[in-house]
């Protein structure tokens, strides 16, 4: 019996000692959700390097297409099952809802550490897209809620070979709208297709129209319209709408552009089937994968007048947000600091042909990409405006432009229709 | 006591089915109806109760919604007539003693088993205004005046989408009609032949009345399937140009994802569901009367 008691006591002692021994903390696994099919291989390469360096495993989970990804993040937000790192593919008001629902960590304190070294490594415009300022109209606590991975500018691209074919100087693309229309007439004569763009996608048509609007009436008037202080029936807005009619009449818009999604537009341009494209800097990678021999140049959208500066959409291309409910917040932030550091950003820029968000890496980019980077100073982004247009107004505006292109409505009719929707939505908001 | 036990036993047998129905259909239906009475963006934890105002907006202000309903109605009409007439004719032909009938059966059932996205993209390529196979063929055949931008022209977009939808869907009707035709006893035709009936009389007095229940079934399935269809449209036109090929499900998606109006989208879903129930009920009553 005594022997039995001794064995039990010994067992307890061994078990107790084992339990009290200092355990090595288990390294977490960080899960990242993203939609960037072209970057998965590069992300996995970086994840491997990070695991080797720190022992922390990074799982990059790809969900594509972007529509499906967007739906997945919303569903996950409703169920509180968002991963450690995710991206929000939507307008600022949706981003604001994610923040207000407590899903996104404010990175401002981390950005301020070490004398703001992390914050200062980014292009200010790239960071601004993820920022909510003191006086933001969304009711969000001021802060920085995302880390820009890359930057982008959306511009016009032209096919140099087709320019040569039409007898135009391929080093001198049109600078203003008159010259642009003149090229349109030559395109028509040559039986070629003019500009391709994903005008079936609301954001793309909005982007092109905004380029024109900023140049015609200036930023303040555009923002005043969004706030409801200027009507869409204002002559300047009708002028913006009329440009689409002019472009259509002069043969500048490719046939079927109103039902064209950007992927199709990219294919057509890459295969030399259109003279112009309206696309973002990500297209460098896309065109290269579709047709490495494509000979193209980048140009700013044609200037309408010289009273107001030309603005193009740009800033952060894709950003990552940190789940505020993640148990691994600190490790996640450390990983993002590493991912956006110079070396990793240079690798991403080189491997994926995207403009890096870290401003120290711009020297390493390809000449094609450099053409997009040159005009970074002209960029603006709806996420930095502080106000968002009401969604049904945006829809009415974009569908209205489509109906002008297909000749169903006049610019004046569309302006009136959009204003009706605007007033109705504003009245609803006031209730 | 014995009877109670028997009843309980019977209830136990149906319980799994009732539970599945309740969990996946009845409870979600009431949940969606409840959400339809809120203003909610689908992300924020707070929802604002707005009563029936989402429904009121659908019925009094949302003209695009009712236009999309008309578009879906037009596609359904083409499916009910052209698609089902084609399905019935081919089933009738294959039911007879013709050569290679098994081969035809297989061929006719290929379109329905193909992915809608793939079918949509292939047809988009065929119908492309500039580089499409259809226009190319029309030009080669000497009909350049018929060349169109089939999918981006507002005059042809909806009909083109409806015809592709019918091509994609006729195989289901074909299969059900064929199964129905094969259940008609051959003796009826033989007796009619003995009585001196010709082919048309046999069809009118035997095939047609006996096929009414099958036709009703195919009709209801066509209405429900076509009204709710949207994948093919997303792949071909994404509802454009403008709103010319918009259908109710695309509007629900636009409210939910584009405008972040989750509550409104739920109200649209409920309204749409009720409309489908009413249409199916009317068709059922109508065909029941025709049967008698």
The mean of the pLDDT values for chain A is 90
Q: Which long-range contacts (CB under 8 A, 24 or more apart) does A186-190 make?
A: A187/A251, A187/A252, A187/A275, A188/A250, A188/A251, A190/A165, A190/A166
Greater pLDDT, A242 or A384: A242
* Alpha-carbon B145 to chain mean position: 33
Please check whether residue A360 is in contact with residue A342, taking contact to mean a CB–CB distance below 8 angstroms. yes
Asked whether the beta carbons of residue B260 and residue A98 sit closer than 8 angstroms, the reply is: no
Does residue A21 have a pLDDT over 90?
Answer: no
Please check whether residue B121 is in contact with residue B132, taking contact to mean a CB–CB distance below 8 angstroms. no
The radius of gyration of chain B's CA atoms, rounded to the nearest angstrom, is: 24
Min Cα distance A68 → chain B (Å) is 11
Does residue A19 have a pLDDT over 60?
Answer: no
- Model confidence at A3, pLDDT cuts 50, 70, 90, reads low
One fold for A29-149+317-340 and A154-313+388-430: yes
Query: Is A65 an interface residue toward B (CB < 8 Å)?
Result: no
Asked whether the beta carbons of residue A406 and residue B128 sit closer than 8 angstroms, the reply is: no
The label of the residue with tokens 């269809």 reads B229
CA–CA distance, B35 with B156 (Å, rounded to integer): 38
User: Parallel, antiparallel, or unpaired for β A276-280 and A195-196?
Assistant: parallel
What residue ranges define each of the domains in chain B, with the CATH number in brackets? 63-291 (1.10.3720.10)
Min Cα distance A374 → chain B (Å) is 33
Of the candidates B217, B220, B176, B212, the residue with the CA atom closest to the CA atom of residue B291: B212
Asked whether the beta carbons of residue A94 and residue B260 sit closer than 8 angstroms, the reply is: yes
What is the helix (H) or strand (E) element at residue B153, kind and residue range?
A: none
Per-residue pLDDT, A365: 80
Q: Which residues of B touch A (CB under 8 A)?
A: 41-45, 61, 128-131, 149, 151-154, 157, 237-238, 240-243, 254, 257-261
Mean pLDDT of A398-419: 96
- Model confidence at A23, pLDDT cuts 50, 70, 90, reads low
CA-nearest residue to B50 within chain A is A431
A101: number of Cβ within 10 Å: 17
Per-residue pLDDT, A2: 61
Q: What is the pLDDT of residues A254-297, one digit of tens each?
A: 999 999 988 889 999 999 999 999 999 989 988 998 999 999 99
CA-nearest residue to B125 within chain A is A264
- Model confidence at A7, pLDDT cuts 50, 70, 90, reads low
What is the percent of chain A with per-residue pLDDT over 90, rounded to a whole number? Answer: 68
Per-residue pLDDT, B6: 82
Greater pLDDT, A350 or A98: A98
- Model confidence at A371, pLDDT cuts 50, 70, 90, reads confident
- Which residue ranges in chain B fall short of pLDDT 70? 1, 290-292
Asked whether the beta carbons of residue A256 and residue B61 sit closer than 8 angstroms, the reply is: no
DSSP β-bridge partners for residue A314: A153
Q: What is the pLDDT of residues A87-141, one digit of tens each?
A: 998 888 899 999 999 999 999 999 999 899 999 999 888 898 999 988 888 889 9
The label of the residue with tokens 């109710």 reads B248
Per-residue pLDDT, A90: 84
CA-nearest residue to A74 within chain B is B43
Give the fold, CATH level 3, of A154-313+388-430: D-Maltodextrin-Binding Protein; domain 2 (3.40.190)
CA–CA distance, B25 with A343 (Å, rounded to integer): 53
CB hemisphere CA count around B123 (13 angstroms): 26
Asked whether the beta carbons of residue A406 and residue B153 sit closer than 8 angstroms, the reply is: yes
Domain ranges of chain A: 29-149+317-340, 154-313+388-430
CA-nearest residue to A431 within chain B is B50
CATH class in words for A29-149+317-340: alpha beta
B183: number of Cβ within 10 Å: 9
């Amino acid at each position: 019996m005594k022997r039995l008691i001794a064995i039990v006591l010994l067992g307890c002692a061994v078990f107790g000692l084992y339990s009290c021994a200092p355990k090595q903390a288990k390294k977490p696994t960080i899960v990242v959700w993203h939609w960037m099919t072209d970057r998965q291989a590069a992300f996995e390469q970086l994840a491997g390097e990070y695991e080797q360096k720190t022992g922390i495993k990074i799982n990059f989970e790809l969900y594509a297409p972007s529509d499906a990804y967007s739906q997945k993040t919303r569903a996950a937000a409703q169920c509180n099952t968002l991963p450690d790192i995710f991206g929000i593919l939507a307008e600022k008001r949706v981003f604001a809802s994610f923040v207000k629902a407590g899903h996104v960590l404010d990175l401002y304190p981390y950005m301020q550490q070490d004398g703001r070294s992390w914050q200062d490594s980014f292009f200010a415009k790239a960071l601004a897209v993820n920022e909510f300022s003191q006086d933001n109209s969304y009711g969000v606590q001021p802060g920085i809620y995302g880390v820009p991975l890359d930057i982008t500018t959306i511009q016009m691209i032209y096919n140099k070979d087709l320019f040569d074919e039409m007898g135009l100087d391929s080093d001198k693309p049109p600078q203003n709208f008159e010259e642009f229309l003149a090229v349109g007439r030559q395109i028509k004569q040559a039986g070629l297709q003019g500009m391709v763009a994903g005008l079936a996608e609301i954001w793309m048509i909005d982007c092109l129209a905004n380029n024109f609007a900023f140049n015609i009436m200036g930023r303040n008037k555009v923002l005043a319209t969004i706030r409801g202080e200027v009507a869409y029936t204002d002559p300047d807005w009708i002028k913006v709408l009329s440009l689409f009619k002019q472009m259509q009449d002069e043969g500048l818009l490719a046939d079927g552009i109103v039902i064209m999604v950007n992927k199709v537009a990219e294919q057509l341009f890459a295969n030399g089937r259109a003279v112009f494209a309206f696309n973002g800097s990500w297209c460098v990678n896309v065109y290269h994968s579709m047709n490495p021999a494509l000979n193209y140049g980048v140009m700013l959208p044609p200037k309408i007048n010289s009273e107001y500066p030309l603005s193009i959409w740009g800033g952060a291309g894709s950003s990552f947000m940190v789940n505020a409910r993640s148990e691994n917040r600190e490790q996640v932030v450390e990983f993002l600091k590493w991912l956006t550091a110079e070396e990793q950003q240079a690798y991403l820029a080189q491997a994926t042909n995207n403009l890096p968000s870290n401003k120290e890496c711009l020297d390493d980019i390809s000449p094609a990409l450099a053409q997009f980077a040159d005009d970074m100073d002209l960029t603006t982004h709806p996420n930095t405006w502080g106000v968002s247009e009401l969604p049904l107004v945006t829809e009415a505006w974009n569908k209205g432009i489509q109906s002008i292109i297909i000749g169903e409505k006049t610019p004046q009719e569309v302006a009136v229709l959009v204003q009706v929707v605007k007033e109705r939505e504003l009245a609803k908001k006031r209730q | 006591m014995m009877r109670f036990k028997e009843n309980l036993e019977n209830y136990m047998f149906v319980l799994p089915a009732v539970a599945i129905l309740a969990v996946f259909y009845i409870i979600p239906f009431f949940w969606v109806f409840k959400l339809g009475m809120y203003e909610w963006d689908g992300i924020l934890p707070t929802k604002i109760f707005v009563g029936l105002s989402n429904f009121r907006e659908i019925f009094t202000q949302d003209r695009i919604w009712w236009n999309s309903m008309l578009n879906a109605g037009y596609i359904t009409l083409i499916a009910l007539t052209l698609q089902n007439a084609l399905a019935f004719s081919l089933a009738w032909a294959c039911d007879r003693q013709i050569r290679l009938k098994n081969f035809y059966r297989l061929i006719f059932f290929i379109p329905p088993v193909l992915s809608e996205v793939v079918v949509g993209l292939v047809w988009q390529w065929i119908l492309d205004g500039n580089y499409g196979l259809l226009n190319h063929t029309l030009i080669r055949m000497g009909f350049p005046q018929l060349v169109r931008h089939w999918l981006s022209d507002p005059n042809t977009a909806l009909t083109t989408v409806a015809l592709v939808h019918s091509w994609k869907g006729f195989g289901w009707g074909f299969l059900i009609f064929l199964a129905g035709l094969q259940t008609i006893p051959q003796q009826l035709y033989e007796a009619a032949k003995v009585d001196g009936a010709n082919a048309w009389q046999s069809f009118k007095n035997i095939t047609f009345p006996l096929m009414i229940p099958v036709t009703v079934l195919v009709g209801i399935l066509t209405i429900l399937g076509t009204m709710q269809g949207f994948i093919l449209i997303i792949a071909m036109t994404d509802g454009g140009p403008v709103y010319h090929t918009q259908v109710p499900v695309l509007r629900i998606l636009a409210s939910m994802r584009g405008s972040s109006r989750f509550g409104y989208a739920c109200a649209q879903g409920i309204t749409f569901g009720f409309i489908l129930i009413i249409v199916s009920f009317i068709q059922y009553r109508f065909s029941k009367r025709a049967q008698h």
